[in-house]
Structure 1
Amino acid sequence: MVFSSETFLFLFLPAFLAIYYLTPNRWRSVTILLGSYVFYGWWRIDFLALLFATTLWTYVFGLLVARTEGKQSKMLCIAGTVGCLSVLGFFKYFNFVASTVGSVLGQDPAASTLWHVILPIGVSFYVFESISYLVDVYRRESLPARNFADFASFVSLFPHLVAGPILRFRDLRDQFANRTHSLALFSQGMTIFIIGLAKKVLIADTVAPLADTIFSQAAPTLIESWLGAGAYTIQLYFDFSGYSDMAIGLGLMMGFRLMENFNAPYTSKSITEFWRRWHISLSVWLRDYLYIPLGGNRKGVARTYFNLFIVMVLGGLWHGANWTFVIWGTWHGAILAIERYFAWPKKSATVPWSLLLTLLFIVLGWVMFRAPNVGAAMTMYGGMVGLNGLGVTADVAWQLPREGLVVLAIAIGLTALEPRLKKLAEPELVIEGQGTAALRAQWLPAIAMSCLTVLVLMRLADQAFSPFLYFQF
């Protein structure tokens, strides 16, 4: 079940919210837990058992870590963490390791069903959240959960369960005990949810055929390659940030305040800044639970650069068991280290050139991220430097939807103006007695959101099912 499906929008969500608000406060964590398990189990009931087992394992070890001290507490934290990582390692990397070993031995692992392990949706996210819980309890930065229902509800909270943001229990612990519910907060959440749904349905899904068409070409030309890379750059951002917006909006409808996950990343002036704005919850997790434990910048210059590099390589590998993700992480890790060495961007650097250079690095990285294998990525790079010709070929031209090209141009404009648009979207204080101006300030956003909702619903009725890109991670 996905947020942009009719089943979720017209069946699950209304039913869940009705039951949730009719439930007494003391039982709402149980309602969240059961509703989230229905949401997750709708896909596959067997992987719901894996989610429950991982949650129970983490909860028990969290209690043990909290009740012990010193070396014993540390060993229990390590044991609990290893158990969580084992789940992630088996389901996410077994196929990769098996196929690599098979290739070395001259076998064809693709021909054997023994190599194929199905990846449970959301496992990367809830395993990271489980690890952060154990580490925070060990560091005494968080108290353990009051009860199993609260912790299980946190892990399975359906708005963020399958594609983030990656949350920390310590940030939501008090909200499970006491959170605010109001019509204003619910309306704000619904607005954010609709904006996220519009990002996904009206932009990401409309631009997707452009990227899919060009990345499937055997020899894309210069214009085709850059068009495909640009389309995927837009598709991925509006798809993933749209999901995050919907998760934040759904959280507000239930009284939860989830962290922001994107902040106009394509307006960054360096890759360092980009990672402060893109998938913020992952960046924070990697910093707090990998970069700092490795020593951060406290063990000398060389070690700092190494830590930056290895964290990004592992961050790339977290996205998927494929050499393309390893190379993508290596690309970003190398640039981060270089920027730190040269203290880039310099104060004297012109903003337009910094923006364009950073965006170039980002787009080149997304080509490797999107490609099914390294060979396909190199083909795209060859096209981007003109090795396969310059113009759009007749075989490709008829496959490019005009609607997608128009939406791509609009989306590029939206990303460039995003910081200004976010300021305009911030609610203004309406003072009693302002008259017509006050009424206009209240009604114009409502009319705009109503029109946007109608467009989204019309588009949903017209298009086929399209899962979110980050479900595969």
Structure 2
Amino acid sequence: MVFSSETFLFLFLPGFLALYYLTPWRWKSATLLAGSYVFYAWWRVDFLLLLIGTTVWTYMTGRAIRASEGARRRMWTGIGVAGCLAVLGGLWHGAAWTYVLWGAWHGGWLALERYTGWAKSRSPAALLRTLLLVLLGWVMFRATSVAEAGEVLAGMAGLNGIGMSATSAFQMTGESLVFLALAIFVAAAEPGLRRSRVASVEPAKGGGAVTVANTLLPSLATLIVAILAVLKLSEQSFSPFLYFQF
């Protein structure tokens, strides 16, 4: 049912408006919520669980926002927005539970990072944790079903035995491993390089010297690695880049 359909214009909308205006004031919000559930469940009943989940999420975070002040209020606002936008971002890619779970996966971890303060950490362990969580999330994004995602995650955890498929082993050439190691190094070192650039530029405002080594070279190294990665992808008939699969 869409807004321009006859079902909505001549059946659902008049019936709901009549019910809404006949409802006592204290129950109008509940009536509006129930009407929204019916409208979206008309499209897909299985997504009703998602709507109920987002309702509970926004209600609980809203109560937390109202009961807090200052920094904690900003924290709860960020948690509420992160969770809702992440799920919405998953649905933006397609109306499938795999995308919903992918969005909820990221939203849940973003909310947890804000609540625990992990988001402020820039340590190598934090970078590795973020990389691992993102990689696990891509499994749900790429899978055609929740069951398939579960099978892949089980294999990644070693539940199907430890080993490498022939296809994966064929792709793990020496050149690929060098590029992978170089990319990991640049990604892990980039925050530290950025801080060193800032630290070197700030004293320069007071008369200090800015050298090429601590300002230009880190950015140039990152650019070179990015160009090499694009060239490597372009020479292959099969691209492992996820978005190229759609």
Normalising by structure 1, we get a TM-score of 0.28
Q: Which has the greater radius of gyration?
A: 2
Normalising by structure 2, we get a TM-score of 0.48
Bigger relative CO (Cα 8 Å, ≥ 6 apart):
1
Name the structure where helix makes up a greater proportion of residues: 2
